């Protein structure tokens, strides 16, 4: 041991001896290289923790902001949809409901395109728009009156509910559409009475949303040989004050039979025209055809 030099104490002794610990705590950092490394590591770890916390808070803020904006956007769309489709008189909104595989989508595109196309099962809500000639009630691009001046047209907004849509979606669109086109499968004998009861329930609910609702029950696939006996409007058991606002039509989306009749009742005819039609109005209907 040299005089004047400070004795070197092993690290294990420093860690196990409280007195030497106290001595080393008073010494400069330059004499504690290992302790200095620990302080640097702690100094680096602290900003990293702060950055991780700040990043987590930023992600949470972005998620909450996105959810809030999505909610505001949906509410705005609903309000605008109500104003545009509910107030504007030149747009007729028709909601298409019915049993599964009854031909709702085929009927929708029969109205929009004027022809039959093969479709698949609709899973989610779909919307289509078209412009019909008021004289023949077919799309204006294939109408024979498209070159004639002064022919009135009607803009139609067709909506169909998919099989995966819940009751909240149906109720939401019941508020917007004052006209409903129910589609039944005439070849399915298992859903007859159940479907009629569902129609009566929906009509009772829909009646509270609109002052002048219209209902057309389209009994589809009547061109099929194996179709069961045809029901009538009396089998639906509608309230007495709504019977003149509903009609039953045996038709086919494949052949187009009954489609124009359904549209005429929903879009043009007044409730008092059914079931009793005066001779003058009957002549007008013939000329309208």
Asked whether residue 220 is marked as a ligand-binding residue, the answer is yes
Q: Is 223 annotated as a binding residue?
A: yes
Residue 102, marked binder: yes
Q: Is 207 annotated as a binding residue?
A: no
Strands (E) across 108-265 are located at: 126-133, 153-160, 179-185, 214-220, 246-250
Structure tokens at 58: 């930023």
User: In 3-state terms, what secondary structure has residue 192?
Assistant: helix
Q: Is the peptide bond before 275 cis (omega within 30 degrees of 0)?
A: yes
66 in a labelled binding site:
no
100 carries a ligand binding annotation? yes
Is 105 marked as binding a ligand? yes
According to the annotation, is 63 in a ligand binding site? no
What is the maximum span of the chain, computed from C-alpha positions, in angstroms?
135
| φ, ψ dihedrals at 16, nearest 5° | -100, -10
Known binding residue 121? Answer is no
Residues placed in the known binding site for GTP? 98-105, 220-223
Residues placed in the known binding site for Mg(2+)? 105, 140
Residues placed in the known binding site? 98-105, 140, 220-223
């Amino acid at each position: 041991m040299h005089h004047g030099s400070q004795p070197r104490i092993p690290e294990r002794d420093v860690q196990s001896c409280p007195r030497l610990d106290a001595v080393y705590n008073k010494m400069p950092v330059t004499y504690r290289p290992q302790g200095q490394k620990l302080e640097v590591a702690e100094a680096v770890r602290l900003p990293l923790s702060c950055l991780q916390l700040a990043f987590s808070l930023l992600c949470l803020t972005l998620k909450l902001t996105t959810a809030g904006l999505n909610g505001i956007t949906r509410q705005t769309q609903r309000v605008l949809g109500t104003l545009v489709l509910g107030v504007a008189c030149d747009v007729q909104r028709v909601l298409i409901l019915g049993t599964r595989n009854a031909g709702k989508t085929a009927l929708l595109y029969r109205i929009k395109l004027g022809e039959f196309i093969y479709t698949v099962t609709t899973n989610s809500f779909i919307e289509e728009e078209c412009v019909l000639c008021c004289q023949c009630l077919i799309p204006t691009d294939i109408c024979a009156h498209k070159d004639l001046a002064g022919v009135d047209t009607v803009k139609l907004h067709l909506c169909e509910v998919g099989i995966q849509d819940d009751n909240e979606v149906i109720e939401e669109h019941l508020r917007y559409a004052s006209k409903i086109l129910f589609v039944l499968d005439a070849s399915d004998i298992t859903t007859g009475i159940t479907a009629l009861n569902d129609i009566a329930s929906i009509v009772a609910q829909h009646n509270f949303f609109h002052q002048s609702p219209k209902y057309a029950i389209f009994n589809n696939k009547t061109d099929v040989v194996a179709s069961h006996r045809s029901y009538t409007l009396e089998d639906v058991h509608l309230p007495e004050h709504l019977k003149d606002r509903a009609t039953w039509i045996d038709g086919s989306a494949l052949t187009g039979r009954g489609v124009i009749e359904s549209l005429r009742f929903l879009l043009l005819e007044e409730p008092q025209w059914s079931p009793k039609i005066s001779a003058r109005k009957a002549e007008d209907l013939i000329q309208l055809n």
